[in-house]
Amino acid sequence: MNKPSWIAGFAVLTIFQASAWQQQSGKDLSWAFQVPDKNPPPSSGNNGPMHVPGSAKSYMPAQIDDLYAPPDWFPDEHPVAPSIVLAGKKPGGMACGSCHLMSGRGHPESADLAGLAPGYIMRQMADFRSEARRGSGMNNIAKAISEDDMRQASEWFAALKPATVWTKVVEADTAPKTWVNRGRMRFPLSGGETEPLGNRIITVPQDPERIENRDPHIGFIAYVPFGSMKQGEALVKTGGSGKTVQCGICHGPDLKGLGEVPRIAGMHPIYIARQLYNFKSGANAGVQDVLMKQVVTQLTDQDIIALAAYVGSLAP
C-alpha cells in the first residue's frame, strides 16, 4: 500500500535517531531504529476491498491508510472508543488507533499500550509534548491534541486487556532478507532469501497482508541470536552480577507492571531495545526516564538484545 506523505516526518526522526547512535558508537542500529528504504519493491497493486479473517467488514486500501479513520475490524472486542482514538484531531493529531491499533497492541514501530496505567500514558504524553522524550513523531501529535484528549485515550487504552503473545521470538542464525516501508515497518522480500542475523533483532509480520490491513488478530516474528533468551532471563532475574538491577523490582515480579511503572512483558522486542538505547543516550529524559539511565549504563549491545528478546517473549 502507498503510505501518506506525512509519514516521511516519522522517517526523518528515525533516521536522526539512528544516525545519532551511529555517530556515538560507530555501529549500525537501523535494525532497531528502522529506516525506510530509498528504493522499495513495487506495490502489489491490489486496489480492491480488503478483508481479514473473522470480520464481516471490508475496507478499501485508501481507508486503511487513512490515519484519521483507522479500520476497526472487530468493534465488539473493545469498549466504545473516544473520538481521539477513532478520528484524531486535525491537523497533526492522528487517530491513536491508526498506529496502536484498536487492540492497543500496536506495530513494532509504535508502542503496545494495552493495559498500561493511565497515569503512565499521561506522563509519556506530557514528556512527548515537552520533548523530554525526543525523536518520535509523537512529539508533534502530543502538541496537537488537548489534555482531555490525552486523558480519554489513556483511560481507554488502560481498559484493554492484552491476552496473547503478540510477537513470537525465534532464536536463529539467519533471518529473512527484508525491506522497510515508509511507515518504518520491515517486510520480508518476496524471494524468500535469508541472510546472517548477526547481533540484531529482525522483526517481520506473521502475515504481511493482514498486518498492512491493521488486523489486530495477527502479530509478528522476531528473530534473535542463539542464546539470547537464556542470557536475557539471567539479566532480568539476577541483574547480571551487578551489571544492572533485577527488572522485577520496579516492573513487578511477572514484569506486568507495578503501579504506574509500565508492563514490559510481551512488548515488541525492538521497541524494548529502542527504549533501552534511548535511556542510554538521554533521548528519553523524563523524570522517570532519568532513573532508567542508571539501570542501562553498563548494558552492552548484546545485553540489550538479550533483554529485549526475553522480555518480548513473555505473556503480557
Is residue 31 included in any domain, yes or no?
A: no
Is residue 52 included in any domain, yes or no?
A: no
Cell of 274: 529502542
Is residue 249 included in any domain, yes or no?
A: yes
Pairing state between β 186-188 and 178-180: antiparallel
**Tell me: the pLDDT tens digits for 240-293?**
888 999 999 999 999 999 999 999 999 999 999 999 999 999 999 988 888 899
* pLDDT for 24: 52
Bridge partners of 222?
A: 169, 203
Count of domains forming the chain:
1
12 pLDDT exceeds 70?
no
Global confidence as pTM: 0.91
Is residue 97 included in any domain, yes or no?
A: no
For residues 45-64, give the mean pLDDT: 92
**Tell me: the pLDDT tens digits for 148-194?**
999 999 999 999 999 889 999 999 999 999 999 988 999 999 889 99
CATH at residue 241: 1.10.760.10
For 275, phi then psi, to 5°, come to -65, -40
Is residue 142 included in any domain, yes or no?
A: no
Is residue 65 included in any domain, yes or no?
A: no
* pLDDT for 11: 43
Is residue 144 included in any domain, yes or no?
A: no
* pLDDT for 23: 46
- The domain containing residue 238 runs over which residues? 164-313
Is residue 220 included in any domain, yes or no?
A: yes
The helix/strand/coil state of 268 is coil
Is the distance from CB of 169 to CB of 269 less than 8 angstroms?
yes
Q: In the chain, count of helices (H) and strands (E)?
A: 13, 7
The helix/strand/coil state of 187 is strand
